[in-house]
C-alpha cells in the first residue's frame, strides 16, 4: 500500500521487547532471568572448555560449568543429586531476594530522607539568626544586606522561608550573592501555617522580616503571616518584626498584627516620595543607597557621653569624620535637625552618619571653620514647576497627590499614559484641584518618538517615567520603561538639552541596561524599602530615625547647591560647610562634586568627609543635607504628605498622620 513504510527488523524487535516487558513485574523478572542465563551459561561453558586443567569427562565439565554459573549468579555451588542442587538454587534465590529487599528498603529510606532535606522540611536549630519570610524581588536586596552584616559581625545564619522549591531558591540566591559567602538556609512551606513557620525558629531569631509578594493579594497575605507569627511568639515577646505592605489601607491591620515590637513600611508611598524627590535632585537615589546599605556610610545611634550640656551646634563640630544630624530623647522620640541652640541632656543619644558605628572620642573642629567663606543668609523663594509624567501604575495617584500638596501655586503636571495603561483609580484630570497644581492628561504611545516630539520636553523641570505594575505573570514590565528612556535619550540628542529624568524600574538588573543621561537616574521599585527593612532589623532603634528622614514633617534628605552655604570659587573646609548649614537649619553630611565630564548625576558623591578637608567649592557642587524643611521641590508644603508612621505608639494608639485620601 502506498504511503506505508516497511518496519526494520530492529524496530520490530524493540517493539516486541517493549510489549513483553510492559505486561507485568513477573514477566519482567522472567525475561531478566532468561537474559542472564543466556549470557552467563555460554560464557561459563567457554571458560571451562578453554581451561587446560578442566576435568576430562563430560560430566565433570558440566559440573564445572554449573559451579562457575552458580558463583556468578550467587546461587550456591552445591553439587551431587539434582534435588540437592535445586535446594541450593532455592537458598540462593531466597538470599538474593532478602538482600535485594534490604538494599531497596535502605535506598528508598535514604532517598526519601534526601528528598525531604531537599524540600527544606528540617527545623533550623539556630539562635539570634535572621529570618526572611516571603519571596519577591526585594528578597535579593534584603538577604544581601543581612549576609553582608553577618560577615562583618558574625551574627549567625540567614534563614529564608517561602512557598517555593528549596533548590530553586538556593540557586537564585547563590547566583546573586555568590557561592560560599555566607551561611544561608532555605526552607519551604506555607507562610501562614504556624507549623511551617516553626521550621525557621522565629521565636529564637534575632529579627524577622516579612516581604510582600508580587500578586494582588500580597497585603492580606502579609497580615496573615504576622498573625501566624504572633501565634508562635506572642503579642509582646519575640524578636523585632519588620514587615512591608503595598497599600496604605492595610497599614493599621498590619501594625496591629505585628504588635509592639513590629515595624511596618508602605512600599508604594515610599517609592512615590522617592520618585518625586529624585525628579528634581539628580543623584539622590545614589545617596540613599549609600546611606541604607551595609557598606559605606550609615545612620547610627551613639551615646552622648561627655557632650552632655553642649548645644547641638557645638556637638555637631566635635567629630572629624562623623556627621551629627540629631538626637534621640530619653523616651526614644527622635529630634532631627534641631535648633542649633538645643542643649543635649544626660539621657539623650546622638543620631550620626558615619562609616561605622565605632565610638570616636570628640575632638573640637571649630578651628577649621572660616566665617569669611560662608555665604550670606539669603531666602530662596520657591518657584512653580512643570513636571511631565509618562506612564501610569498604582503609584501614579500617590505621585500626583504629593505634587498637589507640595508644589508651588502655578505648577503644572502633564500626564501622558499609554493606550494599554489601565487608570483603575481616579484619573489625573479628575483629581480635586488645590490651587497649587494644574493637571492635564492625554493618551499616546510612549514607545514612538513622534509622541514626545509633540511635547516641548525642554520646558519641563523634571520628567518621571513609570512602568506597568509587575504583577505575577506579567512578563518583563521594564521593557516599556526602557523603550521610553530610549525615546527620551533620542530626544535629548535632537534638542541638545539634557533632560532631568527619573525612571521607575522593577528589576534591579535593568538599571545597568537603562539608557540614562547626565541628569537622569533610576529608582528600583521596592529597593529602598528592602534596604530600610534590613537596616531596621539590624538596629531597631533606627526605626523612629528613618520615620523622620522619610517624612516631610521631620527631617528630609536633600541635595542643595553649595553656593547656599559657601561662596563659590573660595577654598574652604567641610567644617565651614557644616557650620554654615547649621545656620540654615540643615545638617550637612556630604557633598557631590561637579564633574563636567561625568556620565551620571551620581558621580562624585562623597559622604562623611573629614571636617578638615579643604577644597575649592564650585557653584555647580551640591551639598547632601538632612533638612528640617520639606525637600520635595522646595515647596514649603504643609506636611500633609507625611508618611504614615511605621510603628504603633507605646500607648497603643494609631499614630498614622495620613487620613483616608481621595485616590484610595
What distance in Å separates the CA atoms of residue 460 and residue 449, rounded to the nearest whole number?
A: 17
Least confident of 252-266, 351-365, 507-521, 626-640: 626-640
Residue 367 carries which DSSP code? Answer: G
Q: 48 vs 346, which has greater pLDDT?
A: 346
Edge-to-edge strand order for the sheet containing 241-245? 184-188, 158-162, 130-133, 207-210, 241-245, 262-266
CA–CA distances in Å: residue 141 to residues 7, 42, 364, 427, 491: 60, 67, 39, 33, 33
Q: 407 vs 576, which has greater pLDDT?
A: 576
Residue 164 carries which DSSP code? Answer: S
Domain positions in the chain: 20-118, 130-260, 386-525
Residue 573, pLDDT score = 94
What is the rounded average pLDDT of the residues 607-635?
A: 79
Please answer whether residues 388 and 396 qualify as being in contact, where contact means their C-beta atoms are separated by less than 8 angstroms. Answer: no
What distance in Å separates the CA atoms of residue 603 and residue 105, rounded to the nearest whole number?
A: 64
What distance in Å separates the CA atoms of residue 215 and residue 218, rounded to the nearest whole number?
A: 6
Domain 386-525 in the same topology as domain 130-260: yes
Give phi and psi for 92, each to the nearest 5: -65, -40
pLDDT per position as a tens digit, 337-381:
888 888 988 888 999 999 876 667 788 888 899 999 999 988 777
Residue 612, pLDDT score = 92
What is the rounded average pLDDT of the residues 543-555?
A: 69
Residue 653, pLDDT score = 46
Indicate if the pLDDT at residue 588 is higher than 90: yes
pLDDT per position as a tens digit, 453-472:
888 888 888 899 998 876 54
Residue 301 carries which DSSP code? Answer: E
CA–CA distances in Å: residue 356 to residues 202, 293, 629: 28, 12, 27
Edge-to-edge strand order for the sheet containing 501-505? 437-443, 411-417, 386-390, 462-465, 501-505, 521-524
Residue 611, pLDDT score = 92
- Work out the angle at residue 647's Cα, subtended by the Cα atoms of residues 641 and 651, and round it to the nearest 5 degrees: 115
pLDDT per position as a tens digit, 73-120:
666 655 666 666 666 666 566 666 677 777 877 887 777 766 666 665
What distance in Å separates the CA atoms of residue 146 and residue 144, rounded to the nearest whole number?
A: 6
Start-to-end CA span in the chain (Å): 74
What is the rounded average pLDDT of the residues 311-325?
A: 90
Buried b or exposed e, range 546-576, using 16+ CB within 10 angstroms:
bbbbbbbbbbbbbbbebbbbbbeeeebbbbb
Please answer whether residues 387 and 411 qualify as being in contact, where contact means their C-beta atoms are separated by less than 8 angstroms. Answer: yes
**Is CATH 3.40.50.720 the right assignment for the domain spanning 130-260?**
yes
Superfamily of domain 386-525: NAD(P)-binding Rossmann-like Domain (3.40.50.720)
Residue 582, pLDDT score = 93
Please answer whether residues 519 and 620 qualify as being in contact, where contact means their C-beta atoms are separated by less than 8 angstroms. Answer: no
Could you tell me the three cell numbers for 231? 501565634
Residue 655, pLDDT score = 44
Element (H, E) at 270: helix 267-280
Indicate if the pLDDT at residue 635 is higher than 50: no
Nearest Cα to 464, choosing from 637, 287, 632, 289?
A: 632
Amino acid at each position: 500500500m502506498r504511503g506505508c513504510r516497511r518496519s526494520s527488523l530492529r524496530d520490530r524487535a524493540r517493539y516486541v521487547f517493549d510489549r513483553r516487558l510492559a505486561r507485568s513485574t513477573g514477566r519482567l523478572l522472567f525475561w531478566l532471568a532468561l537474559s542472564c542465563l543466556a549470557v552467563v551459561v555460554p560464557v561459563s561453558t567457554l571458560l571451562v572448555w578453554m581451561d587446560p586443567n578442566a576435568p576430562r569427562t563430560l560430566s565433570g565439565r558440566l559440573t564445572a560449568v554449573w559451579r562457575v554459573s552458580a558463583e556468578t549468579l550467587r546461587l550456591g555451588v552445591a553439587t551431587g543429586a539434582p534435588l540437592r542442587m535445586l535446594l541450593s538454587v532455592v537458598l540462593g534465590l531466597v538470599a538474593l531476594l532478602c538482600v535485594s529487599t534490604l538494599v531497596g528498603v535502605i535506598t528508598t529510606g535514604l532517598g526519601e530522607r534526601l528528598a525531604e532535606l531537599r524540600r527544606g522540611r528540617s527545623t533550623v536549630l539556630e539562635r539570634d539568626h535572621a529570618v526572611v519570610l516571603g519571596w519577591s524581588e526585594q528578597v535579593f536586596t534584603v538577604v544581601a544586606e543581612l549576609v553582608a552584616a553577618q560577615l562583618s559581625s558574625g551574627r549567625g545564619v540567614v534563614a529564608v522561608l517561602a512557598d517555593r522549591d528549596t533548590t530553586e531558591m538556593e540557586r537564585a540566591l547563590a547566583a546573586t550573592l555568590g557561592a560560599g559567602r555566607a551561611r544561608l538556609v532555605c526552607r519551604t512551606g506555607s507562610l501562614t501555617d504556624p507549623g511551617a513557620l516553626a521550621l525557621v525558629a522565629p521565636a529564637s531569631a534575632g529579627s524577622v522580616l516579612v516581604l510582600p509578594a508580587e500578586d494582588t493579594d500580597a497585603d492580606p497575605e502579609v497580615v496573615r503571616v504576622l498573625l501566624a507569627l504572633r501565634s508562635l511568639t506572642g503579642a509582646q515577646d519575640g524578636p523585632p518584626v519588620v514587615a512591608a505592605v503595598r497599600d496604605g489601607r492595610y497599614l493599621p491591620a498590619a501594625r496591629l498584627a505585628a504588635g509592639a515590637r513590629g515595624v511596618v513600611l508602605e512600599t508604594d508611598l515610599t517609592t512615590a516620595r522617592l520618585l518625586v524627590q529624585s525628579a528634581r535632585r539628580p543623584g539622590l537615589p545614589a545617596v540613599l543607597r549609600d546611606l541604607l546599605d551595609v557598606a559605606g556610610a550609615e545612620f547610627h545611634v551613639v551615646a552622648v557621653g561627655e557632650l552632655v550640656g553642649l548645644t547641638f551646634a557645638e556637638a555637631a563640630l566635635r567629630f572629624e569624620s562623623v556627621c551629627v544630624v540629631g538626637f534621640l530623647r530619653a523616651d526614644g522620640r527622635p529630634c532631627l535637625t534641631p535648633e542649633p541652640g538645643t542643649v543635649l541632656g544626660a539621657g539623650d543619644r546622638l543620631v550620626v552618619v558615619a562609616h561605622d558605628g565605632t565610638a570616636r572620642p570628640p575632638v573640637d573642629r571649630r578651628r577649621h571653620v572660616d566665617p569669611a567663606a560662608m555665604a550670606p543668609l539669603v531666602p530662596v523663594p520657591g518657584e512653580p514647576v512643570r513636571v511631565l509624567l509618562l506612564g501610569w501604575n498604582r503609584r501614579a495617584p500617590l505621585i500626583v497627590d504629593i505634587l498637589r500638596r507640595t508644589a508651588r501655586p502655578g505648577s503644572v503636571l502633564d500626564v501622558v499614559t499609554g493606550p494599554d495603561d489601565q487608570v483603575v483609580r481616579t484619573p489625573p484630570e479628575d483629581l480635586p484641584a488645590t490651587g497649587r497644581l494644574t493637571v492635564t492628561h492625554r493618551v499616546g504611545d510612549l514607545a514612538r518618538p513622534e509622541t514626545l516630539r509633540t511635547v516641548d520636553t525642554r520646558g519641563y523641570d523634571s520628567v518621571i517615567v513609570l512602568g506597568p505594575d509587575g504583577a505575577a505573570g506579567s512578563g518583563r514590565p521594564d521593557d516599556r520603561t526602557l523603550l521610553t528612556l530610549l525615546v527620551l535619550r533620542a530626544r535629548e540628542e535632537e534638542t541638545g538639552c539634557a533632560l532631568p529624568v527619573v525612571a521607575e524600574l522593577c528589576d534591579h538588573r535593568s538599571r545597568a541596561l537603562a539608557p540614562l543621561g547626565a541628569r537622569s537616574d533610576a529608582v528600583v521599585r521596592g529597593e529602598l524599602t528592602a534596604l530600610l527593612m534590613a537596616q531596621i532589623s539590624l538596629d531597631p532603634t533606627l526605626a523612629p530615625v528613618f520615620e523622620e528622614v522619610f517624612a516631610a514633617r521631620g527631617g528630609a534628605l536633600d541635595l542643595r547647591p553649595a553656593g547656599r552655604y559657601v561662596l563659590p570659587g573660595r577654598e574652604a573646609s567641610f567644617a565651614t560647610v557644616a557650620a554654615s548649614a547649621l545656620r540654615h537649619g540643615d545638617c550637612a553630611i556630604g557633598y557631590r562634586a561637579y564633574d563636567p565630564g561625568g556620565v551620571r548625576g551620581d558621580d562624585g558623591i562623597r559622604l562623611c568627609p573629614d571636617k578638615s578637608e579643604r577644597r575649592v567649592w564650585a557653584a555647580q557642587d551640591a551639598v547632601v543635607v538632612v533638612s528640617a524643611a520639606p525637600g520635595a521641590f522646595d515647596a514649603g508644603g504643609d506636611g500633609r504628605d507625611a508618611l504614615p508612621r511605621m510603628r504603633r505608639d507605646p500607648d497603643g494608639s494609631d499614630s498614622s498622620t495620613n487620613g483616608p485620601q481621595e485616590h484610595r
